[in-house]
Amino acid sequence: MIHIHYFITRKPTLGDAEFHRYWRETHGPIAARIQQSKRYVQSHRIPYAGTNSPYDGEAEVLIESLESLAQLRQSREYLEGALADERNFIDLTRVEWMATRDHVIVDGPTGAPLVKGVWQLKRKAGMPLGEFRKYWIDVHGALGAKLPGLRRYVQSHLMDEAYLYAEPAYDGVAQLWFDSADAMKAAFDSPAGKDLTADGPKFIDNAKLRFFVAQENIVVAAR
């Protein structure tokens, strides 16, 4: 499966609550009509100290293949439905797509009332991509799995095809789920959380790290 992360920002004319309500109640049912989407999740940003992402959330779609993705982008449900509706609530000058493949480090539940941290990662300058991916899974992933209260942990590694013509802005997305924002804070304040944070600069360009916390609205659970 290909995991599409579509990071979005609200139109300046919309308030935060209005943006999230429109995305959930109006756009969600429209996007759910796209048959190529095997799973569709809206990750709505919530307040959390220390976040620095420019985005208000991300739409997440699971697609079977690149061929299915091409079909999606040509479908009537996408062109005349979801894509056409985006201009009603999204600032289309401030969006970002990432096509990834998932590595599940810790399996577990998703969806509300759980919350999750979402990090966009870029590897350190000069670090080979293969070395970055291996370190992220084997070393950093193992440290992350030790966080107290962690319910689920998934690493989404950018697809090889994204590197064919230029160096992408990010190499992947990390998502970690907890029972609540307080549980998440407690996990990162713990010794295991401090070990995980200290390990980041060994393979990540911390200056480019972007982070927000979200709660999921699962629109299409599975097809």
The model's pLDDT over 181-218, given as tens digits with 9 standing for 90+, comes to 999 999 999 999 999 999 999 999 999 999 999 999 99
pLDDT in tens, 15-25: 999 999 999 99
Q: What is the CA radius of gyration of the chain?
A: 17
What is the rounded CA–CA span in Å between residue 112 and residue 109? 10
Assign residue 62 the CATH number of its domain.
3.30.70.100
pLDDT, mean over the chain: 97
Q: How confident is the model at residue 222 (pLDDT cuts 50, 70, 90)?
A: confident
Stretch 138-163: mean pLDDT: 97
* pLDDT above 90 for 11: yes
Q: Residue 57 in 3-state DSSP? A: strand
Contact 111, 40 (CB under 8 A): no
Distances (CA, A) of 85 to 4, 65, 68, 178: 19, 25, 21, 32
Identify the three-state secondary structure at position 193. helix
Encode pLDDT of 44-96 as tens digits: 999 999 999 999 999 999 999 999 999 999 999 999 999 999 999 999 999 99
- Please say whether the beta carbons of 157 and 170 come within 8 A: no
Residue 23 belongs to what domain range? 2-220
CA distances from 30 to 54, 56, 67, 116, 150 (A): 25, 20, 22, 25, 33
Residue 175 confidence (pLDDT): 98
Residue 223's pLDDT is: 80
Domain count of the fold of the chain: 1
**Residue 113 φ/ψ, nearest 5 degrees:** -90, 10
